[in-house]
Amino acid sequence: MACESVSSFHEWGNALFSNRPAMRLPMTQASAARGCAAGLALCLTFLPAMAAAGGFEDCLAGLRGAAGAAGVDAATFDKATRGLQPNPEVLEFAKSQPEFKTPIWDYLASLVDEERVSDGRAMMARWGQALASAQSHYGVDPATITAVWGVESDYGRAFGTRPIVQSLATLSCGGTRQAYFRSEFIAGLKILQHGDIDPSQFNGSWAGAFGHTQFMPSTFLRIAVDLDGDGRKDLINSVPDALGSTAAYLRKGGWTPGAEWGFEVRLPEHYSGPSGRTRKEPMAAWAARGLTRIDGSGLGGGSAGLLLPAGANGPAFLVTRNFDAIYSYNAAESYALAIALLSDRLRGRQGLVTAWPTNDLGLSRADRRELQTLLMRRGYDLDGKADGVIGTKSKQAIADFQAKAGLAPNGRASASVLAALRGR
């Protein structure tokens, strides 16, 4: 998500590890109350605030004044918020972000799988002219731009379905980062007022990101570009605008044209030296400590930090300032690594050489779909869906199967569970 000050993940990324609900209409208090049977804790934390006399309405009134002071006309505000009610689900999403809570081998297994590589190469061929134009203007290579697109929305297949105005209003009036989301709420209204986005299409993630490469509204206002030259900056209907805006964002984030993001390295045995993405040192210093590229060749010039996402026993990477530019898109090292590794695969390079320090790897999306299919054949109710999205019902079914198979019932979709299902 293109956002410097909030570490939020796009709706599609959340859906990899939790339920992705169908499109929501603005939620009424009655419909929220009916949801209590399915989410008591959620309702206990949010419905009292909704029930407080004029709580959300008073908040909207305050937002109306702030939006007006920022240049949003009354007609735009009133049209966007007419009949609006808060959606408590977005507050729950804000508490659970997979970049920070999911084992990195699970996180990367579904984000950098063969499907995403194949689809990404097809998109690079299809949108080659737009990617070349973006590179010409901003210096960011096509593989990196396409990798961001693939991770953010699966190449436009999953924008998120939540109304942006409702989500941002909810987060502006509840939760722990109200000041930040109020500014995003106002930015969203400015986008509608300017006419770049059709209000009926202004949907996206729980955190307010939208479009092919999931820009936050304030980022859109600052950075979005009209690469296709039609007079509008449209990240929803224009792939060229989205790709160009992504390149513009990365360049502004410090991208150096022609430089690598980094590369996998081989550590000397029992390495215990310094590490950390931000601890940049000359390549010569890393070479003096015994580091080489994974193929044994020299490190080259420049400076880099040593990234050890799973400790010294897992894959290791020397990462440059271009990795930091990717990181600025969504402040999580696992997220930046997913884009970096996917971009390498899109260039035709090999994947990781060093194994992750686990005996139970994560699953690709194809493997997740097979796992769900096998669970349903054994009578588990997954609503008839084998979509690769490991939501609540899938986790419950996995945990039940694990218990019966003598595995730890943690509900995790992993290689051991799939192997056990195949073997039965």
Compute the average pLDDT of residues 66-71.
97
Q: Which fold has domain 262-346?
A: Lysozyme (1.10.530)
The pLDDT score that the predictor gives to residue 97 is 56
The pLDDT score that the predictor gives to residue 101 is 67
**How many CB atoms lie under 10 A from the CB of residue 133?**
18
Q: pLDDT band for position 424 (50/70/90)?
A: low
DSSP, collapsed to helix, strand or coil, labels residue 28 as coil
pTM to 2 decimal places? 0.87
Compute the average pLDDT of residues 283-296.
97
Q: pLDDT band for position 51 (50/70/90)?
A: very low
Rounded-to-integer distance, Cα 187 and Cα 175, Å: 19
Residue 259 has pLDDT above 70, yes or no: yes
pLDDT digits (tens, 9 = 90+) for 134-174: 999 999 999 999 999 999 999 999 999 999 999 999 999 98
Cα–Cα distances in angstroms (integers) from residue 108 to residues 49, 103, 277, 341, in the given order: 38, 9, 18, 9
Residue 266 near residue 243 (C-beta atoms within 8 A): no
Residue 110 near residue 415 (C-beta atoms within 8 A): no
**AA letter at 29:** Q
Q: pLDDT band for position 92 (50/70/90)?
A: confident
Compute the average pLDDT of residues 186-206.
96
CATH fold match for the domains 11-98+158-252 and 262-346: no
**AA letter at 5:** S
User: What residues contact 153, with CB distance under 8 A and at least 6 apart?
Assistant: 10, 12, 159, 211, 212, 213, 214
Of the two residues 79 and 41, the one the predictor is more confident about is 79
Rounded-to-integer distance, Cα 13 and Cα 7, Å: 13
Is the torsion defined by CA of 373, 374, 378, 380 positive or negative? negative
Q: Where exactly are the structural domains of the chain?
A: 11-98+158-252, 262-346, 365-422
Q: Which fold has domain 11-98+158-252?
A: Helicase, Ruva Protein; domain 3 (1.10.8)
The pLDDT score that the predictor gives to residue 129 is 98
Residue 138 near residue 322 (C-beta atoms within 8 A): no
How high is the mean pLDDT of the chain?
A: 88
For residue 18, what is the DSSP state? S
Rounded-to-integer distance, Cα 233 and Cα 191, Å: 10
Q: Record the tokens describing residue 273, joined without a space.
A: 């030296």
Residue 90 has pLDDT above 80, yes or no: yes
Compute the average pLDDT of residues 392-398.
96
Rounded-to-integer distance, Cα 141 and Cα 84, Å: 42
Q: Record the tokens describing residue 20, joined without a space.
A: 């992705």
The pLDDT score that the predictor gives to residue 8 is 36
The pLDDT score that the predictor gives to residue 1 is 72
Q: Write the DSSP assignment of 342-399 as a string of letters.
A: HHHHHTT-----SPPS-SS----HHHHHHHHHHHHHTT--STT--SS---HHHHHHHH
Phi-psi domain of 259 (left: phi exceeds 0; alpha: psi -120 through 50; beta: other): beta
Of the two residues 96 and 33, the one the predictor is more confident about is 96
Rounded-to-integer distance, Cα 357 and Cα 312, Å: 9
